[in-house]
């Protein structure tokens, strides 16, 4: 696809945005996307109707509760979506990110740097949902499935698409190590090349990578995740006005790590504005902004920026793929009775000994 690179450095940001979007419309009208509306493939052991007979109310219980939670604080939707992503990328979608370490402190997965403050409230919301679901159906639904459904509803209740979630995951028995966490969660300093290379082994193609990055259309980031793009020298790809606002929100001398919204146009709405941000050089992370610079992904960004339905469709496909990474099914793993601790083999008297064993199992 041929693209124009008439990037904005003019005085009026709005005019520049309008110009870029009209350029983008022309590009999209001449491009040729293969759109798959069919259900994405299922991994062996997963099903679209896994709990139809054992817990038919699962999805309504989760949705009803999250509606109440989000009415008070829509920011929790972003926290839940990110938690599902972290769960799936490290050791597969097995609920390992939910396990606390020994003595109830953070596990190595929870304590590794990329966690960059996963919202503690998200962990509590999942455990609360588990209790409600198990009260209705008994201990038949896994924590990892509850997290996958909660992530979908976080998207849908923020104004995004409602898509079908493959179910049948079992919860893992092992904690993820710090090394595995670091190796599997790419840093925000990644270039598109690094991102594509890191995600290809997970069977995620460039369209999936661009679509999944669209998760950044909701939620917040800490200053420390991007200030190296501001200081000591400003990243030349960043829009001037945007950079100035970020510097004001994140002063170099700050002693407290502040936060900013990731999508400046509509921070709490799951829409395609994140891609419009990128076209205007207002992406927060290198890993996001470079998707518009790199010729392999630029056309995909543009396509999503001008066609929200296309983004929604590709996001649903990519989430189904991500949501089935390394899943345990059938008789593997277990159904946890408490999302923060494994149930199998845990006797209250022997708890601390077993927790030590779990840590040994985790790969030492």
Q: Indicate which residues carry an active-site annotation.
A: 86
> How many Cα neighbours within 13 Å face the side chain of 231?
12
Q: Does 85 bind ligand HEM (CB under 6 A)?
A: yes
The response to whether 3 counts as a known ligand-binding position is no
φ, ψ at 266 (rounded to 5°) = -150, 75
User: Does residue 287 interact with ligand HEM by CB under 6 A?
Assistant: yes
Shortest spacing between CB 171 and ligand NAG, in angstroms: 13
| 202 near ligand HEM, rule: CB under 6 A | no
Please list, in sequence order, all residues whose beta carbon lies within 8 angstroms of the beta carbon of residue 84, skipping any fewer than 6 positions away.
Answer: 93, 147, 148, 150, 151, 323
CA pair distance 108, 121, nearest whole angstrom:
19
Judged by CB under 6 A, does residue 340 bind ligand NAG?
A: yes
Residue 155 C-beta: closest distance to ligand HEM, Å = 8
Question: Looking at beta carbons only, is 197 or 343 nearer to ligand HEM?
Answer: 197
Count of chain residues binding ligand NAG (CB under 6 A): 17
- Cβ within 8 Å of residue 149, ≥6 positions away: 58, 59, 62, 165, 167
Q: Is 217 annotated as a binding residue?
A: yes
Which of 53, 68, 104, 236 touches ligand NAG (CB under 6 A)? 104
By CB under 6 A, which span of 137-145, 217-225, 281-289, 306-314 interacts with ligand NAG?
A: 306-314
Q: From ligand NAG, ligand HEM, none, which one binds at residue 220 (CB under 5 to 8 Å depending on kind)?
A: ligand HEM
Assess 310 for contact with ligand NAG (CB under 6 A): yes
**Site membership for ligand HEM, residue 328 (CB under 6 A):** no
Q: Is 25 in the site for ligand NAG (CB under 6 A)?
A: no
CA-CA-CA-CA dihedral for 20, 21, 24, 26, to nearest 10? -110
Residue nearest to ligand NAG (CB): 106
Among 87, 288, 313, 334, binds ligand NAG (CB under 6 A): 313
| 137 binds ligand NAG per the rule CB under 6 A | no
Pick the closest to residue 213 from 118, 286, 115, 149 (CA basis).
286
Return the ∠ at Cα 300 (arms to 304 and 294), rounded to 5°.
130
Binding-site residue positions for heme b: 216
């Amino acid at each position: 696809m041929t693209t124009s690179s008439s990037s904005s450095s003019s005085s009026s940001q709005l005019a520049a945005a309008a110009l870029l979007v009209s350029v983008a419309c022309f590009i999209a009208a001449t491009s040729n996307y293969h759109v798959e509306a069919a259900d994405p493939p299922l991994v062996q052991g997963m099903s679209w109707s896994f709990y139809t007979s054992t817990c038919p109310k699962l999805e309504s219980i989760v949705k009803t509760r999250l509606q109440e939670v989000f009415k008070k604080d829509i920011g929790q939707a972003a926290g839940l979506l990110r938690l599902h992503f972290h769960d799936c990328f490290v050791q597969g979608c097995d609920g390992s990110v939910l396990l606390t370490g020994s003595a109830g402190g953070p596990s190595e997965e929870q304590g590794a740097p990329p966690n960059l403050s996963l919202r503690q409230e998200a962990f509590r919301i999942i455990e609360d949902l588990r209790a409600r679901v198990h009260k209705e159906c008994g201990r038949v639904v896994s924590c990892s499935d509850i997290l996958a459904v909660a992530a979908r509803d976080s998207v849908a209740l923020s104004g995004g698409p409602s898509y079908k979630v493959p179910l049948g995951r079992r919860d893992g028995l092992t904690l993820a190590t710090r090394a595995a966490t670091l190796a599997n969660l790419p840093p925000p300093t990644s270039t598109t090349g690094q991102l594509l290379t890191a995600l290809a082994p997970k069977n995620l193609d460039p369209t999936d990578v661009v679509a999944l990055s669209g998760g950044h259309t909701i939620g917040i980031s800490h200053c420390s995740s991007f200030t190296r793009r501001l200081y000591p020298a400003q990243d030349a790809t960043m829009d001037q006005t945007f950079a100035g606002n970020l510097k004001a929100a994140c002063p170099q001398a700050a002693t407290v790590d502040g936060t900013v919204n990731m999508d400046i146009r509509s921070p709490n709405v799951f829409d395609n504005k994140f891609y419009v941000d990128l076209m205007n050089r207002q992406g927060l992370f290198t890993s996001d902004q470079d998707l518009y610079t790199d010729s392999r992904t630029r056309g995909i960004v543009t396509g999503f920026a001008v066609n929200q339905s296309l983004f929604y469709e590709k996001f649903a496909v990519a989430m189904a793929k991500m949501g089935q990474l390394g899943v345990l099914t059938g008789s593997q793993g277990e159904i946890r009775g408490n999302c923060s601790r494994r149930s199998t083999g845990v006797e209250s008297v022997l708890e601390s000994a077993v927790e030590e064993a779990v840590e040994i199992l985790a790969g030492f």
